[in-house]
């Protein structure tokens, strides 16, 4: 018994080769074949093979349709994103930034600003001190050009 192809592509190639051979090379004197213990006419075998080939081809066609749909969606995403941003902005103006109705329309209401934590305040104080030490007492223009090195990590 011949080894069965291990991939769908290899199986499809064998299938197409077999169908081609059945159509072109089968002697006209052969009218019936015994396949897996069942007697089949040559046209029935050819029709069955063609059905298999059509099924494999349907996968290729579906993949092409899928890839086209994905490409179309990908091209639309920037427009959809911009539209949604603008719509949400419009709804926020109309309903108010804290309206619970915004959540039902896909936009979370604007949250109140959180007060900085003690750790954040301490980090900011370190950066401020380092910047002040690096710049010293200089004019506005010169001060803007100086950047303090980040404080060492503790």
Alpha-carbon separation of residue 2 from 33, 127, 129 (angstroms): 18, 76, 81
pTM as predicted: 0.55
> HSE (CB half, 13 Å, CA atoms) of 61?
6
- How far is 143 from 19, CA to CA, in rounded Å? 82
Q: What is the pLDDT along the chain (154 residues), one digit of tens a residue?
A: 467 778 988 999 999 999 999 889 888 888 899 998 999 999 999 999 999 999 999 999 999 999 999 999 999 999 999 999 999 899 988 988 888 888 888 887 777 788 989 999 999 999 888 887 876 667 778 777 777 777 777 6
List 40's β-bridge partners, or say none.
Answer: 33
């Amino acid at each position: 018994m011949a080894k069965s192809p291990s991939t769908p592509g290899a199986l499809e190639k064998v299938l197409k080769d077999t169908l081609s051979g059945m159509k072109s090379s089968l002697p006209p004197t052969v009218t019936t074949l015994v396949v897996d213990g069942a007697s089949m006419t040559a046209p029935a075998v050819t029709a069955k093979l063609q059905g298999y080939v059509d099924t494999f081809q349907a996968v290729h066609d579906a993949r092409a349709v899928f890839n086209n749909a994905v490409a179309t969606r990908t091209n639309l995403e920037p427009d959809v994103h911009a539209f949604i941003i603008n719509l949400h902005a419009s709804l926020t103006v109309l309903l108010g930034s804290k309206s619970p109705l915004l959540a039902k329309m896909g936009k979370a209401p604007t949250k109140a600003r959180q007060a900085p934590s003690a750790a954040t305040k301490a980090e900011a104080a370190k950066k401020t001190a380092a910047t002040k030490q690096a710049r010293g007492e200089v004019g506005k223009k010169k001060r803007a050009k100086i950047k303090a090195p980040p404080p060492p990590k503790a």
